[in-house]
Chain A
């Protein structure tokens, strides 16, 4: 038991050396409304209790892992990316706020890929969904002032200030279309026979 603790602590020490942020620093930095809840209910990696034992001249300081509460296991634990571990590959959208809020910082920005462990494609998809959710006003931290102007929107691909009006739409064969949604989500599961309608 003690040997396993020592090995685990050595492993984590190695990993913390490799990554730029230590886990403690990350936890302290990412304390936001959504993150505080998971810290209380489901501890991330097993909180350790520092136990000091003195046997004469030798003192042994070890971190004893506290017993963690029962957490639901992912259906595919061998995959490297968390989305593939839980088999959510093509199933999420900008509306799944509970999923997206796990990958954002307290100020609304995305967490880096090396911290979350996402693969490149899923990281871009999640980033796109987070952007769309911010512009739709679904996440807690509003990043656009257009909610005040009461111009509600959803599935916005481009930033609101960067888009120019289409004064001349053109003829039918060369029409300038207004884009809705993002092509990164084109592989999402659809339960209707119609394909994803991106060019409105």
Chain B
């Protein structure tokens, strides 16, 4: 804002803010792309790849992500430590059961630029499987980001009046 004093304006542009995103019923890829944009600082007009101006991002409810399609069964995460016989392939469902934050972590890791700043950006990403956040992180949070996917309503969430207001399309007989 132009009405701020110089020091306040400086602080407002260069501060590293803490952002929250709720991953309940969201596709993990979309969450990861939003996180990677904020971690790099690409949402700021003062972005430069060398200046370390990314924000902190906290993702909660990573246990409740929703994959589209049959990706829980089809998507395979492979890893090899280099030693013979250590090629592991896990489906997304098995991976999620072992570690509920791993899917989003790997997705964000793959979307960040492949240079030395990637590790520092990953340290600024905090993942929590449920909505239980520690106190010091809760105190730091400033903004909540909107969810990428609109969660559709279940049939049980419609009220009786809404169900009655919907017209009958066909009649038996």
Q: Which residues of A contact B (CB under 8 A)?
A: 12, 15-16, 23, 26-27, 30, 34, 37-38, 41-42, 44-45, 71-72, 74, 82-83, 85-86, 94-95, 97-99, 101-102, 115-118, 136-140, 146, 149-158, 160, 163-167, 169, 178-181, 200
Instruction: Check: B166 CB closer than 8 A to any chain A CB.
Output: yes
Q: Which residues of B contact A (CB under 8 A)?
A: 25, 63-76, 89, 91, 93, 96-97, 152-156, 158, 160, 162-164, 166-173
**Quick one: closest A residue to B66, CB to CB?**
A152
Say whether A71 contacts B156, CB under 8 Å. no
Tally of A-B Cβ pairs under 8 angstroms: 139
Say whether B75 contacts A166, CB under 8 Å. yes
A-side contacts of B171, CB under 8 Å: 44-45
Say whether A140 contacts B173, CB under 8 Å. no
A-side contacts of B69, CB under 8 Å: 153, 155-157, 178-181, 200
B-side contacts of A136, CB under 8 Å: 152
Given contacts A37-B164, A44-B172, contact A151 B74 (CB under 8 A): no
B-side contacts of A200, CB under 8 Å: 68-69, 71
Partner of B68, one of A74, A117, A138, A153: A153
Say whether B64 contacts A152, CB under 8 Å. yes
For the complex, give the distance between the alpha carbons of A34 and B166 in Å: 12
Q: With A38-B164, A86-B169 given, name 8 new contacts (CB 8 A).
A: A23-B173, A37-B164, A38-B168, A98-B162, A151-B93, A154-B66, A180-B68, A200-B68
For the complex, give the distance between the alpha carbons of A150 and B130 in Å: 12
**Quick one: closest B residue to A135, CB to CB?**
B70
The 9 closest A-B pairs by CB, nearest first: A180-B69, A23-B173, A152-B66, A95-B152, A82-B170, A82-B169, A163-B73, A44-B171, A97-B155
Say whether B172 contacts A153, CB under 8 Å. no
For the complex, give the distance between the alpha carbons of A72 and B164 in Å: 12
Rounded to whole Å, the gap between the CB of B157 and the closest CB of chain A is 9
Rounded to whole Å, the gap between the CB of B87 and the closest CB of chain A is 10
Rounded to whole Å, the gap between the CB of B14 and the closest CB of chain A is 36
For the complex, give the distance between the alpha carbons of A10 and B173 in Å: 13
Given contacts A45-B172, A85-B169, contact A34 B155 (CB under 8 A): yes
